[in-house]
A = this chain, B = another copy of it.
Amino acid sequence: MEIRKYFEKSELIPAIIQDAVTNEVLMLAYMNEQSLSKTIETGYTWFWSRSRSELWNKGATSGNMQKVKKIIADCDLDTLLIKVEQSGPACHTGKQSCFFNEIGE
């Protein structure tokens, strides 16, 4: 499978993680070519941690893994939308989604 085309503009691209069942947006993380390759190969999400500069298998420590149902690139091939079956909360805070700080409230 040719995945290099997604990394032509940038080595790291954003991946939006959406719950395949509820359609809730759970988190956003970054992928390089190797993490996308491991995600496709294993069927679970792998990201590149910008702060730790390392590959990161989401949920490997917490057990809250993300089983991949669908990977969809956008019109200009520089962003991914990944639909997953989420085990447990997606956020390290214990919340289901990382998006909980409403602006203007």
A residues adjacent to B (C-beta < 8 A): 1, 3, 14, 16, 18, 23-25, 27-28, 40, 70-77, 79-81, 91-93, 95, 98-104
Contacts and interface: CB of A to CB of B under 8 A. Distances in A.
A70 B93 CA distance: 21
A45 B13 CA distance: 22
B73 A101 contact: yes
Contact of A75 (B77, B80, B92): B92
Contacts of A92: 75
Given A1-B103, A40-B104, A74-B98, 12 more contacts: A1-B104, A14-B28, A16-B28, A18-B25, A28-B74, A40-B103, A72-B99, A73-B99, A73-B101, A74-B99, A75-B93, A75-B95
Given A14-B14, A16-B16, A71 B24 contact: no
Contact of A25 (B1, B81, B103): B81
B103 A71 contact: yes
